[in-house]
Amino acid sequence: MKLIACYSNKGGVGKTAASVNLAYASALSGNRTLLCDLDPQGASGFYFRVKPSEKLKSNIFFEGTKKFANAIRETDFHNLDLLPANISFRDFDIFLSRMKKSRSRLNKALKPVDGEYDMILLDCPPNISLLSENVFKVADGIVVPVIPTTLSQRTLKQLYEFFKEQGYQASKIFPFFSMVQQSKSLHLETMEAIRTGNKQVLNTWIPFSTHIERMGIHRAPALSYGEKEEAVAAYAQLWQEVQRLFVH
């Protein structure tokens, strides 16, 4: 089982779109895949039409790891399951901090589903919290969408600094460019600048596209309805790159 986190310490960078499409591409290439919607503002569940059920909203939800497994929902797509977000995910951090002993609590929480999945993708909340920190520790890789702007460049730098301060492995971070507008010379220049200083940046970049934005109307991964569109196909290519890095 491989655990890949999709994380950004800045919102609105196409993180959820990437998570949803990477998970879909992973399932399509034959991996039994679980997408965990850990971002309360995110909409992974929305894109799969999965409602957060009443039961999941209760606070006792994360008391036992078994309940965690019970919350999993099969999506309409083969090989692809979803752990939907719910209100108590806001308390997910608190839940983790309550489990005092082990520092790799997330690992423990994922234990009951170990073996059922080949790939677990985490759509992480856009902040640095105990949850994110746990993710940083246990994930096999962290893919970070970056809009090639000066502001994003700065946020990425902050993430690396945080990793350094905490002693986390920065080699797990794999940034990729998201919502790229080729008509903007600033985008192209920033991409150039970031790539020069960082060998871990993935080759594939995701163009800005209305086809991707339409996911909200289709309520399905863009790859499932628009794989022929260049911007959408970039996700398939991104998955190929991620797969080469983590799935052997």
Interacting residues toward other proteins by CB under 8 A: 48-51, 69-74, 76, 81, 116, 219
For other proteins, give the closer residue by CB, 50 or 206.
50
Residue with Cβ nearer other proteins (73 or 172): 73
**Nearest-approach distance from CB 46 to other proteins, in angstroms:** 9
* Two tokens, residue 120: 């677990």
> Taking a C-beta distance cutoff of 8 angstroms, is the pair 218, 247 a contact?
no
Q: How far is the CB of 86 from other proteins (least distance, A)?
A: 13
The residue (of 55 and 98) whose beta carbon lies closer to other proteins is: 55
Question: Which amino acid type is present at position 55?
Answer: K
The Cα-based distances of 9 to 12, 89, 157 in angstroms read 10, 17, 11
Question: What is the rounded distance in angstroms from the CA atom of residue 52 to the CA atom of residue 83?
Answer: 9
Min separation Cβ 139 and other proteins, Å: 24
CA 72, CA 117: separation in Å to the nearest integer? 12
Q: How far is the CB of 11 from other proteins (least distance, A)?
A: 25
Residue identified by tokens 């856009």 is 126
70 versus 182: smaller Cβ distance to other proteins: 70
